[in-house]
Amino acid sequence: MRHYFKGKKMLKYFIFMLTVFGLNGCISTQNLGLDNNLKLENEKKISTFDSCTNFSYISQSTNNKYDKLFIEYINLDNFCKWNGLQRGYFVDLFKSTIKAKSFRLIERIEHNNSEYNTYLIDEKYYVNIIYKYTVFEDLFIIDYAGIYTTEQIQSFDKSYNNLYLDKPRFSSNYSNSLVRMNFLNSYFTRESEGYEN
């Protein structure tokens, strides 16, 4: 009889611990950090879903300070992997969606885990694309006006002068997503569970 009560007590403890870990996993929907510093007004967030992603989204923001921004945040599951270069996939999808005849890199500045890129579209219009990354997170920002990009670069390089702010700027209502297009283009996939002989 005494062993029965010990077993029952252990079972209750085990169920309690499973419940705590289960609830913690369900409640913890906060992203790991790449997008935590982005506080934008008039932001419209849309969640994107794939079996390889967690809490990913796209958003569009139009405000007085930065004008228009498009953001895609991807939190890749730790059992999945990219099948190529993330920034390359994003730029190619953007380029094909807007049907650009030409798309040329003008400037790239790298700092820590961030890239600040200026592109010339159709030899007429400029646009900035920011790419920030960690092991499982990727954040892409299309900065149509270039103001947010300039502010970010000047936060670590006070002498930076954006030569392309006063040039004609590209504008669109881009809303495509690597996560949504993954089922067609296989940008990322689940890693194989075991090794084949």
Domain boundaries, the chain: 1-30, 43-190
C-alpha closest to that of 138 among 62, 31, 40: 31
Segment 92-125, tens digit of pLDDT: 999 999 999 999 999 999 999 999 999 999 999 9
pLDDT at position 34, please? Answer: 57
pLDDT at position 20, please? Answer: 44
Write phi, then psi, for 183 (nearest 5 degrees). -65, -25
Does the structure show a pLDDT above 90 at 52? Answer: yes
Segment 73-92, tens digit of pLDDT: 999 999 999 999 999 999 99
What average pLDDT does the segment 50-57 reach? 95
pLDDT at position 43, please? Answer: 80
Fill in the amino acid letter for 105.
L
Does the structure show a pLDDT above 90 at 39? Answer: no
Segment 58-71, tens digit of pLDDT: 999 988 899 999 99
Segment 130-149, tens digit of pLDDT: 999 998 999 999 999 999 99
